[in-house]
């Protein structure tokens, strides 16, 4: 980022940008600083950065789809008249989330949602694939050695640009479906689901 571009940021944005850079360095994904590394370590470090970024994205999509399923379940049991912000203030809704929704796995939530409504086969299948992929990446440092749950998404290496691109595109379709179901909003495929408007809609 040039100084001219940086000058357009607000004070808070500049602070956040600095924090992001610091966190990236702590997480060893600060690829901009690769030339500061020992030349013999650069290839390994870049490979590890690529893996870490891909794993982070898969886990992010997993938690977001989980949130969408939770929203669908809560709408079924509590209706849509009161928004989630108001519902979180009630003891009944908090107890339902803490002791029922929170303990359900992603696949258990999917089964419950499928009992509520007819979920498109492609959407359900992609959620099942997401679950298997996330389990392998989150539970094994070397998922390549697993018999199942290898770091492969629909025949593509999830650590590659092609694999991650295909994965993100499919997850976008899944979240688009649930956005329409949960909130009656058709989100453009060009809109990132982790945008501020979506985060605000789901926060307690």
Spans of all domains in the chain: 10-39, 50-202
> What tens digit of pLDDT does each residue of 48-62 get?
999 999 999 999 999
Lowest mean pLDDT among 2-6, 72-76, 171-175: 2-6
Give the DSSP H or E segment for 147. none
pLDDT class for 184, splitting at 50, 70, 90?
Answer: confident
pLDDT in tens, 5-23: 656 899 999 999 999 999 9
Taking residues 171-187, what's their average pLDDT? 89
What is the model's pLDDT at position 5? 60
Count the helix, strand and coil residues of the chain and give each as a percent rounded to the nearest 5.
70, 0, 30
Q: What angle, rounded to 10 degrees, do the helices at 42-78 and 121-139 form?
A: 130
* pLDDT at residue 3 greater than cutoff 70: no
Given a cut of 80, whether residue 34 has pLDDT beyond it is: yes
User: 124-162, pLDDT tens digit by residue?
Assistant: 999 999 999 999 999 898 999 998 889 999 999 999 999
Instruction: With a cut of 90, say whether residue 204 has pLDDT above it.
Output: no
DSSP secondary structure string for all residues of 34-80: GGGS-TTTHHHHHHHHHHHHHHHHHHHHHHHHHHHHHHHHHHHHH-S
Lowest mean pLDDT among 39-43, 115-119, 190-194: 190-194
Q: What does the radius of gyration of the chain's CA atoms come to, in whole angstroms? A: 20
User: Of 22-36, 76-90, 97-111, 185-199, where does mean pLDDT reach its minimum?
Assistant: 185-199
Which positions ≥6 away from 198 have C-beta within 8 Å? 179
3-state secondary structure of 194: coil
Question: To the nearest whole number, what is the mean pLDDT of the chain?
Answer: 89
In this prediction, residue 109 has a pLDDT band, given cuts at 50, 70 and 90, of very high
| Residue 159 · residue 141 · CB < 8 Å | no
């Amino acid at each position: 980022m040039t100084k001219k571009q940086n000058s357009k940021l607000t004070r808070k944005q500049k602070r956040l940008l600095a924090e992001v850079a610091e966190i990236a360095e702590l997480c060893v994904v600060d690829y901009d600083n690769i030339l500061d590394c020992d030349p013999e370590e650069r290839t390994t470090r870049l490979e590890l950065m690529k893996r870490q970024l891909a794993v982070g994205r898969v886990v992010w999509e997993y938690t977001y789809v989980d949130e969408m399923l939770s929203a669908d379940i809560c709408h079924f049991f509590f209706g849509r008249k009161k928004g989630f912000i108001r519902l979180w203030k009630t003891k009944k809704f908090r107890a339902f989330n803490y002791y029922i929704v929170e303990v359900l796995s992603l696949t258990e939530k999917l089964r419950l949602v499928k009992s509520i409504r007819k979920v498109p086969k492609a959407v359900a299948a992609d959620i099942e694939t997401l679950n298997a992929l996330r389990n392998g990446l989150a539970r094994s440092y070397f998922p390549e050695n697993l018999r199942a749950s290898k770091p492969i998404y629909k025949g593509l290496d999830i650590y590659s640009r092609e694999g991650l691109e295909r994965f993100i595109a499919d997850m976008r379709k899944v979240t688009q479906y649930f956005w329409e179901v949960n909130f009656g909003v058709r989100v453009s495929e060009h809109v990132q689901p982790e945008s501020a408007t979506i985060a605000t809609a789901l926060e307690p």
